[in-house]
Amino acid sequence: MTIMMLGIDLGKNSCSVAGLDSDGNVVLRRRMQPKRVLNFASKRAPCTVAMEACCGAHYLGRLLAEQGHEVRLMSPEYVRPYVKAQKNDDRDAEAIAEAATRPTMRFVELKSQAQLDVQSLHRARSRLVGARTTLTNQLRAILLERGTVIVQRRHKLEQAVDALLADPDFMSGSRIRRLLADMRQEWIDLDRRIGALDREFVELARDNVAARRLTSIPGIGALNATALVAAVGDGATFAKARDLGAWLGLVPRQHTTGGKPRLLGISKRGNKYLRTLLIHGARAALPSLARSQTTLGVWLRNLLARRHRNTVVVALANKLARIAWMILRHEVTFQANRATAMAA
């Protein structure tokens, strides 16, 4: 029995495996514990192993690649249409194997442990930032319920809370005053932890050649650069610069029928975290870039003359993503006068 394609449906407690022969027929179905998958694969001749790009897939994929197998990871949304009849683990494994045989299937690049480590740091920072936002919103609500209205912006709230807690007459002896003091201390601790991660990202960007090149792009700092390198590596997964922008969801959705094209808002597909970072970076860089006499500056001024500013911010974010692909793929540095040509 020769297995050409092995589909693995990963699970925490059990994995389903389906093997296809050269004609695409299912010749093997088996369930096993996750720790037995490697032993099972080591006894097989080198073949193509397909999995969904989920938690643990990159780790297992690297180990399988060391055994001589070709590993193909796919987004779960691309596998779903190949599930036949009722859904179960065995059907999922068969669908994974069948989807990986399609010539038009899009695969996810196998990430190194270093890339996954940096992504973990970014996710931890994102969680802390979310916790800080929740905390500040609750602080505002507590003060608003007591007639204290504070203007927007985090530093304004910080100054107001510190001033209120410094006033001995503010809710003297009240339980709420102690609660506010505890919340302020929690806020300080979150700021410290987020700041420590930010400094770590600066060090990572300084030590990584690709990230250092990316930071030469206006609007891309250490945070964006390390996140891009961790997510896309050298950009080899994408054939063209525009493919990275499309993967990040920075291009318009299309609804074309009867030969009549209709473009809608951006698709917002792909990596939401990266898309958010690029849009924030573009918003920060837009004023200075629009005043510059470079080709990128001329392009932005022409766009601002006929489009809403928010639309221009997203267009610039897409441009920055395409420039980033050029820099990662061709190992060059950013040149402002050639920016629009580079990303075309």
Residues 246, 187, single domain; the answer is: no
Residues 232, 217, single domain; the answer is: yes
CB 154 within 8 A of CB 136: yes
Mean of per-residue pLDDT scores for the chain: 91
Residues 156, 197, single domain; the answer is: yes
- Which of the pair, 168 or 282, is modelled with greater confidence? 282
Q: Which domain holds residue 99?
A: 5-108
Q: Is the pLDDT of residue 133 over 50?
A: yes
Residues 122, 238, single domain; the answer is: no
Structure tokens at 299: 């392009």
pLDDT in tens, 4-62: 999 999 998 999 999 999 888 999 999 999 889 999 999 999 999 999 999 899 999 99
**Helix (H) or strand (E) run with residue 266 in it:** strand 263-266
Residues 81, 193, single domain; the answer is: no
Provide DSSP, 192-215: HHHHHHHHHHHHHHHH-HHHHHHT
CATH of the domain at 41: 3.30.420.40
**CA nearest neighbour of 158 among 150, 168, 147, 169:** 150
> Last residue of a domain, which of 66, 86, 108?
108
Residues 98, 137, single domain; the answer is: no
- Which of the pair, 342 or 90, is modelled with greater confidence? 90
pLDDT in tens, 83-127: 988 888 899 999 999 999 999 999 999 999 999 999 999 999 999
Which residue matches tokens 């709230």?
Answer: 157
Residues 139, 87, single domain; the answer is: no
Task: Please give the angle made by the CA atoms of 198, 127 and 189, to the nearest 5 degrees.
Answer: 65
Structure pTM?
A: 0.87
**CA nearest neighbour of 316 among 212, 238, 219:** 219
Task: Give the bridge partners for 70, in sequence order.
Answer: 48
Average pLDDT over residues 327-339: 81
Half-sphere exposure of 151 (CA within 13 A, CB side): 3
Residues 245, 297, single domain; the answer is: yes
Task: Give the bridge partners for 71, in sequence order.
Answer: 49
**CA nearest neighbour of 7 among 67, 47, 36, 58:** 47
Q: What is the Cα–Cα distance from 342 to 344, expressed in whole angstroms?
A: 6
Residues 318, 330, single domain; the answer is: yes
> Last residue of a domain, which of 175, 207, 239?
207
Residues 229, 297, single domain; the answer is: yes
Q: From residue 6, how far is each of 44, 101, 174, 255, 332 by CA, in Å?
A: 10, 10, 65, 36, 39
Which residue matches tokens 């989807």?
Answer: 99
Residues 232, 163, single domain; the answer is: no
Give residue 84's pLDDT: 87
Residues 157, 251, single domain; the answer is: no
With cut-offs at 50, 70 and 90, classify the pLDDT of residue 344.
very low
Percentage of the residues of the chain whose pLDDT score is greater than 90:
74
Quote the number of domains for the chain.
3
Q: What is the Cα–Cα distance from 264 to 311, expressed in whole angstroms?
A: 12
pLDDT in tens, 291-324: 998 889 999 999 999 999 999 999 999 999 999 9
> Last residue of a domain, which of 184, 207, 230?
207
- Which of the pair, 332 or 193, is modelled with greater confidence? 193
DSSP state of 237: T
Percentage of the residues of the chain whose pLDDT score is greater than 70:
97
Return phi, psi of residue 286, to 5°.
-55, -50
